Structure 1
Amino acid sequence: MSDFVSVASDGDVAVVTIDNPPVNAMSFHVREPLHQALAALRDDPSVAAIVIACAGRTFVAGADITEFGKPVQQPELRAVIAVLEAIAKPTVAAIHGTALGGGLELALGCHFRVADSKAKLGLPEVKLGLLPGGGGTARLPRLVGAEKALGMIVSGAPIGAAEALEAGLVDAMFDGDLLAQTVRFASELVVKGGPFLPVRNRNDRLGKADLAAFDRQAAELAKKARGLEAPIACAVAVRNAVTLPFDETLAAERELFLNLVAGDQSRAQRHLFFAEREAAKGPAKDLSRRKIARVGVIGAGTMGGGIAMAFANGGFPVTLLETSEEALQRGLATIDKNYAVSVARGSLAEDAKRERLGLFKGSTDYADLADCDLIVEAVFEEMAVKQEVFGRLDAVAKPGAILATNTSYLDVNAIAASTSRAQDVVGLHFFSPANVMKLLEIVRAERTAPDALATVVELARGIGKVPVVVGVCHGFVGNRMLAARGAESEALLLEGATPSQVDRVFTEFGWPMGPFQMGDLAGLDIGWRNRKARGLTAVIADALCEQGRFGQKTGSGFYRYENGSRTPVPDAEVEALIRAKAAEKGTTPRAIGADEIIERTLYPLVNEGAKILEEGIAARASDIDVVWVNGYGFPVGKGGPMFWAGLEGAGKIVERLEYWHQHTDRPIFQPATLLRRFAETGSWEAAARP
């Protein structure tokens, strides 16, 4: 019927095939011919059953989100599903790969669903700040029950075919030739005869719903939402499926969907979706890639062990190097313990744990790195130490091996200069815990070869990381901006704020924790060492460190942590220390409001991001947003600092930065030229044009 939808006959079973690479998205050019095909097959007396299948590597993996927020082209997905659902002949969705979002909603319009054993099914719209808009919240609870549907829709996490079969979402699971077995399944339905009940008319599971239990589950999910609107709307929509007639449930779902799609949070989350895809593209596709078969990691401490686990989790054999057998065994024991925790939680099978541990080879001899294609150092954050490591690698690594540094701040060009192969050197800045955190800042040095860069970008995606390529400067993108955000933290304390007040403003903004709680979690001694190496001071933080208060690991920092607890407790001794330091400086404490805290911490964050763009350290404003959301906890619903600047008003940010610069004469408040241009143009892209 079209280039995107075709119809073929297998006996009296019609097979409708969607072919819209790469993921068979339900774009208008798919919906229109699909709608026509279904209407024709509905009225064709020679057709006894209909199978909906997809070409390529997946079933329909979702709607075309580039259409969101634009005038709707008819037929929309709901109209296609309405035609499908009204067909009296048995209809069957043949699911392989992934059936996500609008794809699963299309399948829910069929009488039956069958799946390949490796298929995944889910409704991930919440991750875009939305809820399912094609009847998913009305139909899914009718198959799997309200509580199961609530968990699936609010988490957005897909489930496997076996779980879907057990839950009642699919009716059969097959291995082998899915289409042939689905046609056979449909033919058997014809022989058995109808009537065939559409999902909309199946109310048995809803009648068994325990609304009190549902509401408790929804309340728990609301706590975890941290200000995000979509999870709350999802819970409301699923509850409607239990309490309202079907058509009213659909109408309420549509109203909730339209409200979300027009809101700032969904705009922010859709921005991040495209930003991550753009950042992950990396260098040109036509570049060759180096083969990575074995990875070496130098350092079996917290970072090195986590990095090694990240590669093992991705299926790579890892040589883990330490300076002594004792340190090596300690690191390997920690890795074993971390995997054991995952097994205990049920997130990793015991055989998978054994398989991953079998990928590790421990060593104390640099010569054992000779067969590695990528070597990542994760040693102490001092230039001399790292240069010594790279000098030794220069002597043992094979030609073409990529040599990577996990430095958080240091000059990758200077590290590369300690080798005779600067073209093979790149920064791979993992975030702790490296086996969990998704962000990977990939630092492009002056002489990094394009194929080396392309290789590590592709590799990062392969081990489940979100890669962002950045240039060389102190702290790169994330930590450089973090320094700007934190520059006023002590000044705010000395002028009258408390650590708990500042942290509360941050959590109310949407951060998972505030800067002082984060410092305690990371360890205050890390920043202390860094400051001393650079000849810098921080009056309050330095004083705390001098007292041995390094944060959670010592039971005290900016807060107290009682009896091994991770819960911060405000400490009168810290507040007394702050007041004493303020008195030494002749500063009189005053009341400081939430607006001032935001202006003096987050506005400089945006301003530093603008400077980073000016200098070409980041290629796009959206790359900075990806860094901050995935690596530092910037609220997802605000889209990252550069996107949020547009919501907040760049003109307002410039005005207030000028005010604070005039009153403090601190460089962090001097508005960047690019920020001023953004205020004028309303677009970071337009502001960056010559």
Structure 2
Amino acid sequence: MPFHYDKDSDGIVTLTMDMSGSANVMNDEYRNLMGDAVSKLEGDEITGVIITSAKKTFFAGGDLNVLIAITPENASQALEGVEELKSQLRRLEKLGKPVVAAINGSALGGGFEIALASHRRIVLNDNSIRVGLPEATLGLLPGGGGVTRMVRLLGVQKALPLLMEGKQLRPERALQAGIVHQVVETREELISEARAWILANPAPTQPWDVQGAGVPDLKFGDPNSYGLLGAAPAVLRKKSHGAYPAPEKIMAAAVEGAYVDFDTALKIEGRYFVELASGQVSKNMITAFWFNLNEVNGRASSSGKRVAKLGVLGAGMMGAGIAEVSAKAGIEVVLKDVTLEAAEKGAGGLEGVKPTDSDEDLAGCDLIIEAVFENRELKNKVLGAAEAQALPDAVIASNTSTLPITGLAAAVPDAERFIGLHFFSPVPKMRLVEIIRGEQTSQETLQRALDYVRQIGKTPIVVNDSRGFYTSRTFATYVIEAITMLSEGVAPALIENVAKKAGMAVGPLAVSDEVTLSLQLKIHDQTLADDPSLVSESTAYDLIREMVGLGRSGKSTGAGFYEYPSDGSKKFLWPELTTRYVKADAGVSEQDVRDRLLFVQSLETVRCLDEGVLTSVADANIGSIFGFGFAPWSGGTLQFINSYGVQAFVERADYLADTYGERFRPPASLQDRDQF
């Protein structure tokens, strides 16, 4: 039986969850099993209950295959199912007998809601274990009583950050946060401590079921509550720009539920849950952050080889970041630069990183990653010298963001061992690595690259060779479109604010300053030198050239589209942008600004897919979100088209092409497609 019911001589029942499949999840099978188990407990003479798991995890949460299928049409049926699940947990905590969750693995989402319905939560002190309610990261809210119980357990002010940000806590941190009661060191203690607590507490009551109990920091008519209620929505709106409905609904469920009794609060929570689950944003986020992410992360671990010694060429910000994350993963790292002083500065005294100015120190490396300036001659020089010192079968990689890998592979004798490993800045924080296959890159080299990326805890996408590959090529369209609009007379503040409201991580003019306008100009000029046919229809580069000529190359020089005060105060848009470029009759609506910024990236992604640069939808969506901050609520550049409706997207793109230029003309491949 998937829920093992074992009653000992003291009358303590150990209910061990062991559902079919690799993990325990909330679905129809769970609902039937938990319903039967609760009914059996209610009819049995027991002393108490220990809930634990036979799986590696305690409980993985809701079945996302079920949740993504909820629509406005079947929402009422879904609500009935949710209410039944909550009713079971309510009956469990009102048995009149102690219930202890013995959390032997991660308990997330619905799994932690089961734990919250227990009178005591004891968790194994394993650093791999996480507990919490991460539903907001998938566009949902905890609909199994999570919002209602957390708010009554901690108060609104402490509960909302955990709920709205979907935080997953390690055991000790969960103990400090007050969401678990006890942390133990062994599995044996987990059960023995649960038994001891049951015997010492024969008739516990949940805090919210104590007579007169309410929400600790929110009382009806209490003026001390008004500050929180007034400020929180404004703070949230400033952060999310209204693009994410889940945090808003979580806040609404928390506050509305605080002013009613517990069971009514559960009903409020359930209705908000189904509203979110039947909406498009949750479907987008589930598609990207669960299905697509699992697909790209599932490719690794087939070479059987782990990197033992890594050589990084170039100790600048990128090279130093690659060295840091690799050393922290237990890899021996040699960080080489032109001078020992530069290498030592990049290494920063980090344990496991050897700074050097000598190629000879690269002897024995089984992976070399070049991270020098975007100059083909320099890259060829350092790659050839390093390859000569490394192991005969070492993988040789470039961190270039734009130069084709096939051309760079000429620097080494065996192009089959050459590959692109494109990291993103800042390397320690950015999750993505774009792996680029050259024309001659072998399958073994690709697999070893995938395994290295997983070894350092990053997420890999795999693309084929092309100028700018996928991420740089597509992200450039976002930046250039924004500068094009500025050259047409659109107000810079409107461009930046609309981009952030649309969900982009950073405004396009701000990010232009970060990467520097001079670099964008250099890449553009190099592209035209290599292939004069690649002339852009955009007027952006004339404006960029003018800005660079004015000495406004970006943040690193203290002046770009933004001013960067020398006293360290907040940056602000250069006022002269308005006087130089803005036109009162520019005639570009806010909706057109938004669509131009989003559509141009999705259209370029389709072209990358058509050309074979991209070979999977998952790579496109995950690469766009993790690589260049494409609006996470949309699920990525291709999921954005799905959610818009492919044919509706085509019609809107044709309008944009007729109005603003042929770069918006949808590829023919979209004409007969229903979805990606």
State whether residues 6 and 16 of structure 1, in contact with CA within 8 Å, keep that contact through their aligned partners in structure 2. yes
In 2: Cα distance, 1:213 partner to 1:95 partner: 37
Secondary structure (helix, strand or coil) at the match of 1:8 reads strand
Counterpart check, 1:315 vs 2:310: no
Counterpart pick for 2:572 among 563, 569, 585: 569
Secondary structure (helix, strand or coil) at the match of 2:111 reads helix
In 2: Cα distance, 1:554 partner to 1:419 partner: 36
Deviation of the 1:569 alpha carbon = 2.8
In 1: Cα distance, 2:371 partner to 2:401 partner: 10
2:664 matched residue in structure 1: 669
State whether residues 650 and 675 of structure 1, in contact with CA within 8 Å, keep that contact through their aligned partners in structure 2. yes
Counterpart pick for 1:614 among 589, 603, 610: 610
In 1: Cα distance, 2:338 partner to 2:664 partner: 45
Counterpart check, 1:332 vs 2:347: yes
1:123 matched residue in structure 2: 133
Deviation of the 1:667 alpha carbon = 4.8
1:138 matched residue in structure 2: 148
State whether residues 156 and 217 of structure 2, in contact with CA within 8 Å, keep that contact through their aligned partners in structure 1. no
Counterpart pick for 2:215 among 206, 209, 215: 206
Q: Specify the code of the residue in structure 2 equivalent to 1:206.
A: V
State whether residues 110 and 199 of structure 1, in contact with CA within 8 Å, keep that contact through their aligned partners in structure 2. no
In 1: Cα distance, 2:140 partner to 2:115 partner: 20
State whether residues 552 and 566 of structure 1, in contact with CA within 8 Å, keep that contact through their aligned partners in structure 2. no
Between 183-192 and 505-514, report the one with greater CA deviation.
Answer: 183-192
State how 1:67-78 maps to structure 2 within 5 Å.
67-68=66-67, 69-70=69-70, 72=78, 76-78=84-86
Counterpart check, 1:634 vs 2:634: no
Deviation of the 1:245 alpha carbon = 0.8
Cα deviation, 1:106-162, whole Å, max 9, x if unaligned, reads: 011112111112243211000011110000111123333332211211111122322
Counterpart check, 1:110 vs 2:118: yes
State whether residues 549 and 556 of structure 1, in contact with CA within 8 Å, keep that contact through their aligned partners in structure 2. yes
Deviation of the 1:268 alpha carbon = 1.4
Q: So what's the TM-score if we normalise by structure 1? A: 0.87
Q: Specify the code of the residue in structure 2 equivalent to 1:544.
A: M
Deviation of the 1:526 alpha carbon = 1.4
2:221 matched residue in structure 1: none
The 1:420–1:188 alpha-carbon spacing in structure 2 relative to 1, beyond 3 Å, is same
1:544 matched residue in structure 2: 547
Q: Specify the code of the residue in structure 2 equivalent to 1:443.
A: I
In 2: Cα distance, 1:484 partner to 1:165 partner: 47
The 1:618–1:566 alpha-carbon spacing in structure 2 relative to 1, beyond 3 Å, is farther
Secondary structure (helix, strand or coil) at the match of 1:197 reads coil
In 2: Cα distance, 1:235 partner to 1:306 partner: 38
Secondary structure (helix, strand or coil) at the match of 2:192 reads helix
Deviation of the 1:384 alpha carbon = 1.8
- Which 5+ residue runs of structure 1 have no aligned equivalent? 337-356, 583-587, 685-690
Counterpart pick for 1:500 among 477, 493, 517: 493
Counterpart pick for 2:275 among 259, 284, 290: 259
Counterpart pick for 1:306 among 315, 321, 325: 321
Identity of aligned residues (%): 31
Deviation of the 1:564 alpha carbon = 4.8
The 1:97–1:540 alpha-carbon spacing in structure 2 relative to 1, beyond 3 Å, is same
Secondary structure (helix, strand or coil) at the match of 1:375 reads strand
2:4 matched residue in structure 1: 6
Secondary structure (helix, strand or coil) at the match of 1:562 reads coil
Counterpart pick for 2:644 among 642, 645, 648: 648
Q: Specify the code of the residue in structure 2 equivalent to 1:611.
A: R
In 1: Cα distance, 2:484 partner to 2:377 partner: 33
Cα deviation, 1:248-297, whole Å, max 9, x if unaligned, reads: 110110111111111121111111121111122226x6x33322123221
Counterpart check, 1:275 vs 2:292: yes
Q: Specify the code of the residue in structure 1 equivalent to 2:33.
A: P
Between 220-229 and 402-411, report the one with greater CA deviation.
Answer: 220-229
Secondary structure (helix, strand or coil) at the match of 2:506 reads coil
State whether residues 492 and 577 of structure 2, in contact with CA within 8 Å, keep that contact through their aligned partners in structure 1. no
In 2: Cα distance, 1:324 partner to 1:234 partner: 54
The 1:541–1:149 alpha-carbon spacing in structure 2 relative to 1, beyond 3 Å, is same
Counterpart pick for 1:223 among 223, 232, 238: 238
Secondary structure (helix, strand or coil) at the match of 1:563 reads coil
Counterpart check, 1:373 vs 2:366: yes
Deviation of the 1:557 alpha carbon = 1.1
In 1: Cα distance, 2:658 partner to 2:227 partner: 56
State whether residues 481 and 600 of structure 2, in contact with CA within 8 Å, keep that contact through their aligned partners in structure 1. no
Cα deviation, 1:640-670, whole Å, max 9, x if unaligned, reads: 2221123334334433444554567x55233
The 1:14–1:556 alpha-carbon spacing in structure 2 relative to 1, beyond 3 Å, is same
Q: So what's the TM-score if we normalise by structure 2? A: 0.89
In 2: Cα distance, 1:451 partner to 1:28 partner: 42
- Which 5+ residue runs of structure 2 have no aligned equivalent? 71-76, 219-223, 529-534
1:554 matched residue in structure 2: 557
State whether residues 499 and 597 of structure 2, in contact with CA within 8 Å, keep that contact through their aligned partners in structure 1. no
Cα deviation, 1:152-201, whole Å, max 9, x if unaligned, reads: 1111112232233344322222112x2x3344334434543532213541
In 1: Cα distance, 2:153 partner to 2:483 partner: 55
1:289 matched residue in structure 2: 304
In 1: Cα distance, 2:195 partner to 2:523 partner: 71
Counterpart check, 1:527 vs 2:520: yes
1:240 matched residue in structure 2: 256
The 1:417–1:566 alpha-carbon spacing in structure 2 relative to 1, beyond 3 Å, is farther
Between 395-404 and 651-660, report the one with greater CA deviation.
Answer: 651-660
State how 1:436-515 maps to structure 2 within 5 Å.
436-515=429-508
Secondary structure (helix, strand or coil) at the match of 1:476 reads coil
Counterpart check, 1:422 vs 2:420: no
Deviation of the 1:514 alpha carbon = 2.3
The 1:640–1:423 alpha-carbon spacing in structure 2 relative to 1, beyond 3 Å, is same
Cα deviation, 1:563-584, whole Å, max 9, x if unaligned, reads: 35474433343345447xx9xx
Deviation of the 1:505 alpha carbon = 2.3
In 2: Cα distance, 1:556 partner to 1:547 partner: 10
The 1:358–1:599 alpha-carbon spacing in structure 2 relative to 1, beyond 3 Å, is closer
State whether residues 207 and 213 of structure 2, in contact with CA within 8 Å, keep that contact through their aligned partners in structure 1. no
The 1:218–1:149 alpha-carbon spacing in structure 2 relative to 1, beyond 3 Å, is farther
2:73 matched residue in structure 1: none
State how 1:121-200 maps to structure 2 within 5 Å.
121-176=131-186, 178=187, 180-200=188-208
State whether residues 101 and 124 of structure 1, in contact with CA within 8 Å, keep that contact through their aligned partners in structure 2. yes
Q: Output the aligned Cα RMSD.
A: 2.6
State whether residues 77 and 102 of structure 1, in contact with CA within 8 Å, keep that contact through their aligned partners in structure 2. no
Cα deviation, 1:424-467, whole Å, max 9, x if unaligned, reads: 22211111111111121111222223233223323323433221
Secondary structure (helix, strand or coil) at the match of 1:677 reads coil
The 1:471–1:208 alpha-carbon spacing in structure 2 relative to 1, beyond 3 Å, is same
The 1:652–1:207 alpha-carbon spacing in structure 2 relative to 1, beyond 3 Å, is closer
Q: Specify the code of the residue in structure 1 equivalent to 2:456.
A: I
Cα deviation, 1:56-103, whole Å, max 9, x if unaligned, reads: 322112121111134649585324313322322211110122111100
2:97 matched residue in structure 1: 89
In 1: Cα distance, 2:600 partner to 2:176 partner: 52
Counterpart pick for 1:592 among 582, 588, 596: 588
Q: Specify the code of the residue in structure 2 equivalent to 1:655.
A: E
State whether residues 404 and 426 of structure 1, in contact with CA within 8 Å, keep that contact through their aligned partners in structure 2. yes
Deviation of the 1:604 alpha carbon = 2.9
In 1: Cα distance, 2:25 partner to 2:7 partner: 24
In 1: Cα distance, 2:254 partner to 2:604 partner: 43
Counterpart check, 1:42 vs 2:42: yes
The 1:573–1:189 alpha-carbon spacing in structure 2 relative to 1, beyond 3 Å, is closer
1:358 matched residue in structure 2: 351
In 2: Cα distance, 1:33 partner to 1:91 partner: 17
State whether residues 133 and 163 of structure 2, in contact with CA within 8 Å, keep that contact through their aligned partners in structure 1. yes
State whether residues 121 and 181 of structure 2, in contact with CA within 8 Å, keep that contact through their aligned partners in structure 1. yes
